[in-house]
Amino acid sequence: MKLSKMHLKTLREVPNEAEIPSHVLLLRAGMIRKLVSGVYGFMPLGWRSVRKIEDIVRQEMDAAGGQEIHMSAVQPAELWQESGRWNAYGPELWRLKDRNGREFCLGPTHEEIFTDIVRNDISSYRQLPMNLYQIQTKYRDEARPRFGLMRSREFIMKDAYSFDRDYEGLDKSYQEMYDAYDKIFTRCGLTFRPVEADTGAIGGSNSHEFTAISEVGESEIAYCTSCDMAATVERAECKDAAPQTEVEALPLEEVETPGTKTIEDVAAFLKLDKTQTMKALLFVTYDMEGNENGYVAAFVRGDRELNMTKLVNALDIPEHAIEFADEDKMSAATGCVGGFTGPVGLHDCKIVVDSELPGLKNLCAGACKEDHHLLNVNYGRDYEGDIVTDIKTLAEGDPCPVCGAPVKHARGIEVGQVFKLGTKYSDAMGAVYKDENMQSHPIVMGCYGIGVTRTLAAVVEQHHDDNGIIWPMSVAPYHVIITVMKPDDEIQAKVAEDLYEDLCSAGAEVLLDDRKERPGVKFKDADLLGIPIRITVGRGAADGVVEYKMRRDADKTEMAVEESKALALKTIQEEK
């Protein structure tokens, strides 16, 4: 493609709305285009890279036995009502009606549709296992779309679903997808880590997220420095502190602690370590219709962080059905006192206690009385929990739940997820097969997603510098950019044109920058666009010499035209 004929508008300035490198650079390189908040279009170069990622995904999915299909983006409410997700999904589900008032949604995922396929088409164990996938536009009506392609409302996803006769089959299908994902993200040039993940609202038993390591990622992962434990922070198990079985319970004592509204304040005032305190977090929950459905007080040791995902799972409610309580209203109903709430004296409210608290003795807690705390609070004697379970976050430096070594945290971008659904959907929607003895069983399912457009953004996050993008060859929109210093110079034009034709005929994908712009503008654009190989045709052209440079390297080399051609083709072959 000749740049003079191509629709390309690069920007020198950083667009106001863009905060992270991938968003800034994809906009500046004219690869994506914002339509409204969270909705982007892809311009010629950006779309080429998307299609390359799609092709990699397609090849590896096919190699793993997946069969590509294509289902509608618009889905009828009835199917979502059958699975129970119509109400459970929350406001991210983008709903609409047709001209007859029938309800639909724009699919964020396709479990219902694919379950509907198999319950209609599959009758016998002989038809299993099966893996169906699609690459398709998906929708989430995000409250705060941001970071460009990272969290958008319309995006391209590959979603696959496996169907097996039993959990052993599911384990195999799951592992095949896990391995395929490994190949896909490796081929895309990503540094990533599969981490154990929460199974959340989709329901199911086991899941891994494929996380591209990046400072700007929205996922926080915890990993062990000595074993291979890695999990999202939402999911990571946290080891309880050892129970203080030897310590004697002291008598409960109320003390005045004026103005000590935070754990820091009260620990300092009472000269206690924070591990000798407990803290309360107060919530209100909602039912399906959005009406208030009772209060919740969650208690963790004073130095711990509450893990919202674990709390929501413990309560068995959707993520959007809980929020921080209005303290005044909650106080009237339950006796809590903002800044001074403890488990003793609370009423009409569900109490969730972190699993390590029952083992700890003589803790300091709020007294449910302004400016007062209680000392020597002990589980069983002074308070009990409606639910006792792990609701704390595994913090950096905490012992690894597997081997005990200190864990580290890192941020990453969730580019893929593999998920053991089990029979959640086949039970709800009646997807069964008959075995050899004509006995019916629910089909055992897995689901497997890859954010195609998010992967594009993740690649840019990991491959850029101050001047622009540095595409890995596999997903670069073009392999080579030929920059002509003076397109009006006949020799330069001829050398460049011949090289362009030769490389194209040999199967390389080449951009010829034949625009009548100053060399500085062209070099800046070439760096911004990030094409892996740049061949500059300048004064040396008269002697058959060009300049060869990899975008990722600082140094450039002068060489004969023929040599540059051979080197480019070899490099493309090795890296694509």
Q: How many CB atoms lie within 10 A of CB 287?
A: 12
Q: Candidates 21-29, 68-76, 457-465, 503-511 — which segment interacts with its own copies by CB under 8 A?
A: 68-76
Strands (E), 337-479: 350-354, 363-366, 372-377, 387-389, 407-422, 432-434, 440-442, 444-451, 464-465, 468-469
Scanning residues 109 to 128, which ones bind its own copies (CB under 8 A)? 113, 116-117, 120-121, 127
Quick one: which of 50, 212, 322, 568 contacts its own copies (CB under 8 A)?
A: 50
Tokens 């397109």 — which residue? 487
Quick one: which of 14, 63, 96, 521 contacts its own copies (CB under 8 A)?
A: 96
Scanning residues 147 to 176, which ones bind its own copies (CB under 8 A)? 153-154
Among candidate residues 371, 376, 377, 374, the one with its CA nearest the CA of residue 257: 371
| First-last CA distance in the chain | 19
Quick one: which of 18, 25, 27, 43 contacts its own copies (CB under 8 A)?
A: 43
Q: Which is nearer to its own copies, 41 or 259 (CB)?
A: 41
Task: Give the pairing type, strands 154-164 and 192-196.
Answer: unpaired
Least distance CB 92 / its own copies (angstroms)? 8
Beta bridge partners of 193: 211
67 binds its own copies, rule: CB under 8 A: yes
94 binds its own copies, rule: CB under 8 A: yes
290 binds its own copies, rule: CB under 8 A: no
Q: Which is nearer to its own copies, 253 or 323 (CB)?
A: 323
User: Could you give the count of Cα atoms lying within 13 Å of 423 in the half-sphere of its Cβ?
Assistant: 12
Q: Which is nearer to its own copies, 39 or 387 (CB)?
A: 39
Least distance CB 498 / its own copies (angstroms)? 22
Q: Candidates 90-98, 196-204, 403-411, 547-555 — which segment interacts with its own copies by CB under 8 A?
A: 90-98
Q: Candidates 96-104, 190-198, 364-372, 395-403 — which segment interacts with its own copies by CB under 8 A?
A: 96-104
99 binds its own copies, rule: CB under 8 A: yes
Q: Candidates 66-74, 199-207, 299-307, 388-396 — which segment interacts with its own copies by CB under 8 A?
A: 66-74
Quick one: which of 12, 13, 16, 36 contacts its own copies (CB under 8 A)?
A: 36
Least distance CB 99 / its own copies (angstroms)? 5
Give the phi and the psi of residue 546 in degrees, each rounded to 5. Answer: -130, 170
The token duo for 60 is: 């590896």
The token duo for 507 is: 């199967």
Cβ 217 vs Cβ 412: under 8 Å: yes
Among candidate residues 228, 238, 34, the one with its CA nearest the CA of residue 145: 34
Least distance CB 544 / its own copies (angstroms)? 31
Scanning residues 171 to 200, which ones bind its own copies (CB under 8 A)? none
Total site size for its own copies, rule CB under 8 A: 51
Q: Candidates 46-54, 182-190, 310-318, 550-558 — which segment interacts with its own copies by CB under 8 A?
A: 46-54
Q: Candidates 38-46, 349-357, 517-525, 551-559 — which segment interacts with its own copies by CB under 8 A?
A: 38-46
Q: Which is nearer to its own copies, 113 or 300 (CB)?
A: 113
Quick one: which of 40, 192, 295, 448 contacts its own copies (CB under 8 A)?
A: 40
Least distance CB 322 / its own copies (angstroms)? 18
Q: Which is nearer to its own copies, 40 or 283 (CB)?
A: 40
61 binds its own copies, rule: CB under 8 A: no
Quick one: which of 20, 27, 28, 42 contacts its own copies (CB under 8 A)?
A: 42
Among candidate residues 419, 396, 402, the one with its CA nearest the CA of residue 199: 419
501 binds its own copies, rule: CB under 8 A: no
Among candidate residues 414, 440, 411, the one with its CA nearest the CA of residue 427: 440
The token duo for 176 is: 């095949």
Among candidate residues 77, 109, 148, 61, the one with its CA nearest the CA of residue 461: 148
State the amino acid at position 276 in one-letter form. Q
- Indicate the SS3 state at residue 371: coil
* 536/28 Cα distance (integer angstroms): 23
Give the phi and the psi of residue 458 in degrees, each rounded to 5. Answer: -65, -40
Give the rounded distance of the alpha carbon of 62 from its chain centre.
24
* Radius of gyration of the CA atoms of the chain, in A: 29
Least distance CB 290 / its own copies (angstroms)? 13
41 binds its own copies, rule: CB under 8 A: yes
Q: Which is nearer to its own copies, 9 or 271 (CB)?
A: 9
* 432/443 Cα distance (integer angstroms): 5
Strands, sheet with 350-354, edge to edge from the N-terminal-most edge strand? 322-324, 278-286, 292-301, 350-354, 387-389
Strands (E), 198-349: 206-213, 219-224, 230-232, 253-256, 278-286, 292-301, 322-324
Quick one: which of 27, 56, 130, 537 contacts its own copies (CB under 8 A)?
A: 130
Q: Which residues bind its own copies (CB under 8 A)?
A: 5-7, 9, 30, 33, 35-36, 39-44, 47-48, 50, 65, 67-76, 91, 94-99, 102, 106, 113, 116-117, 120-121, 127, 130, 132, 137, 139, 141, 143, 153-154
